[in-house]
């Protein structure tokens, strides 16, 4: 297997974990500050992993989710599951 193939395999596993965390938290009715920080950390992890795997579209999407979560952490954005 090529290095690129192994990187994509690793990314698939790692991204699945980040996405599972994001999905579980996104479905909550409200996020406490510590939960919002965990949400932002999962989005940041997904962005970093996608960047390393050269999955640019997913990295940009994760960056958008990270910005929203950062707004919730800072109290600038209210959390609405919708």
Q: Which stretch of 37-41, 66-70, 78-82 has the lowest confidence by average pLDDT?
A: 78-82
User: What is the reported pLDDT for 20?
Assistant: 95
- How far apart CA 54 and CA 20 sit, in angstroms, is 21
* Per-residue pLDDT tens over the stretch 54-63: 889 999 999 9
- Closest by CA position to 53, among listed 11, 2, 14: 11
């Amino acid at each position: 297997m090529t290095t690129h193939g192994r990187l994509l395999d690793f990314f698939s596993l790692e991204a699945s974990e980040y996405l599972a965390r994001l999905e579980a938290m996104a479905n909550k009715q409200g996020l406490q500050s510590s939960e919002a920080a965990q949400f932002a950390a999962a989005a940041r992890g997904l962005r970093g992993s996608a960047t390393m795997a050269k999955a640019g579209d997913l990295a940009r999407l994760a960056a958008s989710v990270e910005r929203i979560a950062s707004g919730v952490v800072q109290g600038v954005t209210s959390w609405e599951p919708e």
